[in-house]
Structure 1
Amino acid sequence: MIKSVLLFLTTSLSMYAVMLRTVLLFLTTSLSVYAVMARVVLLFFVTSLSLHAVEWHRYEDALKEQQVSNKPIMIDVVRTNCHYCSDMDRKVFDDKEMSVWIEKRFIPVKLNLDHDKLPLGIKVMFTPTFYFVNKEGKILKRVPGSWDIQDFKDLTEMIK
């Protein structure tokens, strides 16, 4: 009985060694295929993470929604190559819990200084700058700069 078990284990281990060697050989000869596959998997992973990001609205659509919801509009003014704007997107607006928190309180709008016209005579000194606008078109609060989640919550939680 013990001889049978030892023979089985020896045979199984040598089969695994052959399989491992074959897989390693295949990986080294097909590295470019696996590099492409790794990129596809990474892209899928990153895309799935951002599925819970803040859902941005066009300003005109936000005005219509505001008539029904009475929520303030949160305008995020950015520039195309703004490092701090990208930080806010990645650290704050791509966070699932934070996106729910924001969308519960505000109608989020993102406007780019490089190609969007700013409403309400808004003048921006630097980006990102956030404007919170009520139903009557009055700016309730201006929040300049890039923030982490907790600081951004602290700065905006009293806006109604």
Structure 2
Amino acid sequence: MLSKNIKIAVAVIVALFTLSSFVTNEPKENGEIKWITIQEALELSKKDNKPIFVDVYTDWCGWCKVMDKKTFSDTDVSSYVGENYYAVKLNPEKEGTIVYQGKNYTNAAFANHFQIQGYPTILLLQAEKESKAVPGFQDADNFLKTLEKFKKTLK
């Protein structure tokens, strides 16, 4: 009787592993975004006018983690971001100082400056000229549309 239960348990485990390979949250092809600091991005953007996208997140935010796992790891997203944007992660609950438009901000004050009230929020900037905050989770397709639309407004 014990061996029958062991066989059933093994069969269930094998079935779960097989099923998990179909329902995975892995990126399409190891897409990776190169993340830099906000200060680095602001300095680089001043020189070449390349826009910046800032992932404003917190450690406790569940949807932020889903965006990391599904949206930011998508190869189409990582390719587009790499070619067209500087990418920054900013946690307003962590310590940090940002110089923006000649003023010093903490991470929290920087988020407040842009009236960010929820997470995740995508903050889109070009040097220190244009900005737009887009709150809420976005899947890869909608995120790409958001980035493309913002970039078109800059031309």
Judging by fraction of residues, say which structure has more strand. Answer: 2
2:104 corresponds to: none
> Higher helix fraction: Structure 1 or Structure 2?
1
The answer to whether the Cα contact below 8 Å between 2:37 and 2:88 also exists between their aligned partners in 1 is yes
SS class of match (1:124): coil
Q: CA deviation at 1:49?
A: 8.1
Match of 1:89 in 2: 68
Structure 2 residue runs of 5 or longer lacking an equivalent are 1-24, 96-106
Please state how far the C-alpha of 1:155 moved relative to its aligned partner. 2.1
Alignment correspondent of 1:122: 114
Deviation, 1:69, is 2.7
- Percent identity between matched residues is 28
Match of 2:55 in 1: 76
2:53 partner SS: strand
Partner of 2:88: 109
Where 2:89 maps in the other structure, the secondary structure is strand
The number of residue pairs the alignment matches comes to 114
- Aligned partners of 1:93, 1:145: CA distance in 2, in Å? 14
SS of corresponding position for 2:39:
helix
- Stretches of structure 1 lacking an aligned partner (at least 5 in a row): 1-45
Partner AA of 2:141 in structure 1: Q
1:133–1:143: structure 2 CA closer, same or farther, 3 Å change rule? Answer: same
Q: Which amino acid aligns with 2:117?
A: M
C-alpha distance in structure 2 between counterparts of 1:50 and 1:109, whole Å: 21
Q: Structure 1, residues 75-131: CA drift from partner, whole Å, max 9, x if none?
A: 110001110001111111112221011121211111012204143722321100011
Choose which of 133, 144, 156 in structure 1 pairs with 2:147.
156
Provide the aligned C-alpha RMSD in A. Answer: 2.5
Shift of 1:55: 1.2
TM-score (norm 1): 0.62
Tell me the TM-score normalised to structure 2 length.
0.64
Give the SS at the match of 1:158.
helix
**Aligned equivalents of 1:48, 1:154: Cα separation in 2:** 19
